[in-house]
Chains A and B, each alone.
Chain A
């Protein structure tokens, strides 16, 4: 149901610094993971994905790390820019089934 007064975890970084957003996932059998970026009033935008047979994957300015031992996922953004300000969600997928989303982290880039 709807919750009132929830506050997303917030990460504040200076423009040009690197950002690291963390996510703990729930199911050790999940085999596919995705990071999404959601700007205010918009739908989630795919950033990067990683399969469970990998522990690191790099994209343009972004890197995803997967630690299956502790069920932890992280998103690293290099040289953070004001346009990176958004809410970031991790999502896990089990056997091609539905995605399960994390709670989200608000990234604020300070000039």
Chain B
């Protein structure tokens, strides 16, 4: 149980294009999903928190117009990197947390590696 998938697992795109990453909870309903960014040999940096049916809450320093997050259903959240530039190249990881209490564990997806040329 508690499986989270991401698609695509890796993507290469040209500078200026937009890239959409999907995060799905496969066997549970995720009331809250989180998007993280991770640089090599560093810890996970939280970008934003999204609750189903409401606007995402972004961390300080994360541009909401650049990283668009949609949490349209209890099993799907998407992150769109708009007008991507080489500095956006990174490993993007989502996590999902079910309902039923404040101390539900976050389960992570396998990550999406983005390379912007």
Q: Are B109 and A31 in contact (CB under 8 A)?
A: no
Q: Report the interface size for chain A: residues with CB under 8 A from the other chain.
A: 27
A6 touches B103 (CB 8 A): no
Within the complex, which residue of B34, B43, B95, B103 is in contact with A32, where a contact is CB–CB below 8 Å? B103
- Tell me the nearest residue of chain A to B40, going by C-beta: A6
In whole angstroms, what is the CA distance A31 to B23 when docked?
A: 27
How many residues in B have their beta carbons less than 8 Å from beta carbons of A?
A: 27
Query: Of A11-19, A68-76, A98-106, which stretch is located at the interface?
Result: A98-106
Secondary structure type dominating chain A contacts: loop
Q: Counting chain B CB atoms within 10 Å of each CB, which of A2, A44, A49 scores highest?
A: A44
Interface of A with B (CB < 8 Å)?
A: 2-3, 6-8, 31-32, 34, 36, 41-46, 49, 51, 89, 93, 95-96, 98-99, 101-104
Interface residues of B (CB under 8 A from A): 2, 4, 6, 34, 39, 41-44, 46, 49, 87, 91, 93, 95, 101-111, 113
Sample of 17 A–B contacts (CB below 8 Å): A2-B42, A2-B87, A3-B42, A7-B41, A8-B41, A31-B103, A34-B105, A42-B111, A44-B108, A49-B105, A89-B43, A98-B46, A98-B49, A99-B34, A99-B46, A101-B43, A104-B42
Q: A41-B113, A43-B4, A44-B44 are in contact. List 17 more A-B contacts (CB 8 A).
A: A2-B39, A3-B39, A32-B103, A34-B105, A36-B108, A42-B110, A42-B111, A43-B95, A43-B108, A43-B110, A89-B44, A96-B101, A98-B46, A98-B49, A99-B46, A99-B106, A102-B43
